[in-house]
Amino acid sequence: MYTRVKTQSEQQAMRDSGRMLADTLNLLKRELEPGMTTKQLADMAAKELKALGAEAPFLGYGNPGFPDVICISVNEQVVHGVPGARVIESGDIVSLDFGVRYKGMTTDSALSVIAGGKPKQQRHAELVEFTEKAMLAGVAVLQEGVRTGDIGAAVQIVLDRKRYGIVRDLVGHGVGHHLHEDPNIPNYGRPGSGPELHAGMTIAIEPMATLGGEAVYVGDDDWTILTRDGSWAAHFEHTVLITEDGAEILTDRG
């Protein structure tokens, strides 16, 4: 479905959902340590979600159904990493992509962190930093009547400046009544192009950038998406409510 203008009650449900999501990601970021498995982190997210009384829109999503409540991707894994026995090493780039459904409304958010706080290479820390900056640049252009090309162009300017690979096969999207709604929100584009968006609509802006090329492939688990050239990647995402003269970040982590 195409993302709709949300009612006041729907917007409030998304604020509540977004706060739960942000709090959970902050918890995982604090607890993440080298030596943990990605499944241990996922179990932590599932426990927190249950305690909050919310639902996991990722669990069972798609065909085949995604097997966990959160996607955890490491280094060359761009997105949709399936939690499992992989041990997180010091300096790894770990991307946490999580969704929350509350009172029928869904939010979606992601962040990338350096395990242990010390990168293996300085360029890994810069990739994380500038991928987040690219997301925020996309948020900064939002207002009544913004077009998807305006958002994509703002994201692209930041990533092109650092000569990062922009994964064009993967895009942001509408969100709210469903996890993924139209229109797509590419991380590249021309200002003034693409569908027009309106105040009251909710979208997920999520740049995915690599230190190499843009080509990706799907792994043997039918879910994990990896860089074709083995380069490392970072991923950031916020669910935002478009307003008349800007945006409200519903998954703000503070």
Q: What confidence tens digit (pLDDT) does each residue in 41-56 have?
A: 999 999 999 999 999 9
pLDDT of residue 182: 98
CATH class, 8-249 region: alpha beta
Report residue 176 as tokens: 């709210």
Greatest extent of the chain over all pairs of C-alpha atoms, in Å: 47
Residue-wise pLDDT for 168-197, tens only, equals 999 999 999 999 999 999 999 999 999 999
How many Cα atoms sit within 13 Å of 153 on the Cβ side?
13
Q: Domain locations in the chain?
A: 8-249
Residue-wise pLDDT for 208-252, tens only, equals 999 999 999 999 999 999 999 999 999 999 999 999 999 999 999
82, 224 contact by CB (below 8 A): yes
Report the alpha-carbon distance of residue 107 to residue 53 in Å, rounded.
15
